[in-house]
Structure 1
Amino acid sequence: MTTARSQETPTAMIDRVASLLQSFDGHPRLTLAQISRLANLPRSSAHRILQRLVDLGWVERDGFQYGLGLRMFELGSQVVRRDRAHQAALPFLHALHRSTGLTAHLSVLVSADVLHLERIGTRAETELAWCPGGRQSAVHSAAGRALLAQLDESAWPELTFPAAASSHGIRGLPQLRRDLDQVRERGGVAVDTQWCTAGITAVATAIGPAEAELGAAVSLSGPAGTMPVEKAVAAVRMAAMDIWYAASGVTRLRGRGPRPIILPPAVAAHG
């Protein structure tokens, strides 16, 4: 009996710690009561685990509120830095932002969502969902639909269809299929017309073919009223190709790096 309990206890503890840490998903700061409720843990257990995590630097305490600590950021950054697509994409994301004034993202598909690995530029997209580590619905996100369009439907994750930020979002599977046909006709570029966030338009395309297994998309986003969509489409296409060559270790004969895409000054002023 003692042996069985000793084998189960570490697993149960890991489950409790994982549940507690996951409660911060989408919540930068939480009180003990909120953490206890979200993690489905007794208040005393949540408090005891939090205290230890604070000591280790995994969680930070500010008064009566808790948030993820710098140690979590350090470990997460190591994972991202090891990613081939991320390393290759960084200079081109910076070039996209500099040349357009828009916000550039690198994103991957995770279950029914897209997870943003990197963001360069922060003027218009202030919601946490647009930040690195933030998630958005794959069926509404331009990056998510660009990645889904590359896959056979049998390879799709189990998708959900939450309400969009506007009245024009994807409402079901038939509409998604039609939209993905349009993405393919557009050369793999998807458009988020205020579906994730009101007032924000985004365009995205996958980096490399599906068989390359990079599984990432590059996107540009900005204010819906001033964003020049067609020029942004051209910019992400060029950047995706550059990132693909860089990640593959192949030198492009025509050009030696990110090339500026000049968009109207008004966009740079409001992006």
Structure 2
Amino acid sequence: MTAVDGLPTARASARRELPPSMVERVTLIMDLFEGRTARLTLEEVARCTSLPRSTAHRILDQLVRLCWLDHTALGYALGRRALGFGGGDGARTRVREAAAGRLHQLQIQTGLVVHLAVLDGAEVYYLDKAGGRFAEAVPSRVGGRAPAHSTALGKAMLAWLEPEEVEARAGEAIGRLTQRTICDVGTLHQELDRVRRRHGLAFERGECFPGIACVAAAVRGPDGPVAAISLVGGASAPLEKIAPLVVDAARQVSRELFPGGGTAAPASHRTTAEPEGAWSPQAMDRLLATGQYGDWQ
């Protein structure tokens, strides 16, 4: 391959005519991503492939929907499916290993069920679950899935994505599970704004399963959310009182996964990014006053 402005070109530079098939066009785009750290903007993809910008955007959007690529504030990168070729998912293993101690500590401190999950398209995928007797009453399992828009875990991660990506992931899949489930994209955006104003704290009471309540916070890295941690209890569980424990656990896991690195929010959310450092009880009271119980209605 040759290079243009430091970026690999697609095929030989002499080849100017557009490839006739969709498979060839997809291959042109995927060839640009030469490793898991590669980040390209839409303009860079269009320039290096000589595809029309609208065509490149349409293909990139489809590749993101199918998890071949991810889209963050820093550009497009290889997604779960591309990185999963040739072996197990090392990134998820790293997240689970980094969080294991914190999950155990949370469960001991609170006696509640603790979840660790990642965002997979329009769903959350449960990587780990810890809990006592109440765990049997919580209808989740390691390796299971739930709609992201109906869970505190999902909302905690969706809140740090661009609105367009939220709609691409959850727009077509959004639907009602209970009488309290968010069931339209506009209301979901309003709820995600409340999550950001609570500096990342997401709540849900009976939105996914009746009688179940959760509080969650995202584990965030330079490219955005990589996972989320939640505490789960009954509908009357005093989640507001223990919310700081979830925030602290998520922050500690972030620091272990990305030592010395900061967290990034999309450009449209940067003014609401959470501050570093511990929160005082007074600060928590002010944050939680923006939306008691996390109700979206």
Which residue in 2 is equivalent to 1:204? Answer: 216
What is the identity, as a one-letter code, of the residue corresponding to 1:163? R
**CA positional deviation for 1:214:** 5.6
- Return the alpha-carbon distance in structure 2 between the equivalents of residues 223 and 127 of structure 1: 9
After superposition, the C-alpha distances for 1:25-74 in whole angstroms (9 at most, x for unaligned) are: xxxxxxxxxxxxxxxxxxxxxxxxxxxxxxxxxxxxxxxxxxxxxxxxxx
In structure 2, the CA distance between the partners of 1:127 and 1:108, relative to structure 1 (3 Å rule), is: farther
Q: 1:153 to 1:129 in 2, by over 3 A?
A: farther
How far apart in 1 are the matches of 2:94 and 2:151? 23
Match of 1:154 in 2: 164
**Equivalence for 1:170:** 182
TM-score between the two structures when normalised by the length of structure 1: 0.58
CA contact (8 A) 2:161 2:224 kept: no
Q: How does 1:53-132 map to 2 (within 5 A)?
A: 79=89, 83-126=93-136, 130-132=140-142
- Which 5+ residue runs of structure 2 have no aligned equivalent? 1-87, 261-276, 279-297
Structure 1: 5+ residue runs without aligned partners? 1-77, 256-271
SS at match of 1:126: helix
Whether the 8 Å CA contact 2:204–2:215 is kept in 1: the answer is yes
1:147 aligned counterpart, secondary structure: helix
Secondary structure in structure 2 of the residue aligned to 1:132: coil
TM-score (norm 2): 0.54
User: 1:201 and 1:232, CA in 2 relative to 1: closer, same or farther beyond 3 A?
Assistant: same
Distance 1:127 1:230 in 2: 21
Corresponding position: 1:233 with 2:243: yes
Equivalenced residues, count:
174
Cα–Cα, structure 1 residues 207 and 81, in superposed 2: closer, same or farther, change >3 Å? closer
Partner Cα separation in structure 2 for residue 199 and residue 206 of structure 1: 23
Q: Is the 8 A contact 1:204 1:220 kept in 2?
A: yes
Name the % identity.
Answer: 33
**Cα separation, partners in 2 of 1:81 and 1:188, compared to 1, 3 Å:** closer
Question: In 2 relative to 1, CA 150–213 (structure 1 residues): closer, same or farther, beyond 3 Å?
Answer: closer
Distance change in 2, residues 1:186/1:127 (3 Å) = same
Which moves more between the two structures, 116-125 or 176-185? 116-125
Q: Give the equivalent residue in structure 2 for 1:221.
A: 232
For residue 29 of structure 2, what is the aligned residue in structure 1? none
Please give the root-mean-square deviation of Cα atoms over the aligned residues, in Å: 2.6
Q: Name the structure 2 match of 1:187.
A: 199
Is residue 200–residue 224 contact of structure 1 (8 Å, CA) maintained in 2? yes
| Deviation string, structure 1 residues 152-176 (Cα, Å, up to 9, x no partner) | 01223432122223x2210101110
2:291 corresponds to: none
Choose between structure 1 and 2: higher helix proportion.
1
Say if 1:149 and 1:180, in contact at 8 Å, map to a contact too.
yes
**Offset at 1:121?**
0.9
CA–CA separation in structure 1 for the residues paired with 2:177 and 2:91: 32
1:248/1:117 CA distance change after superposition, 3 Å: same
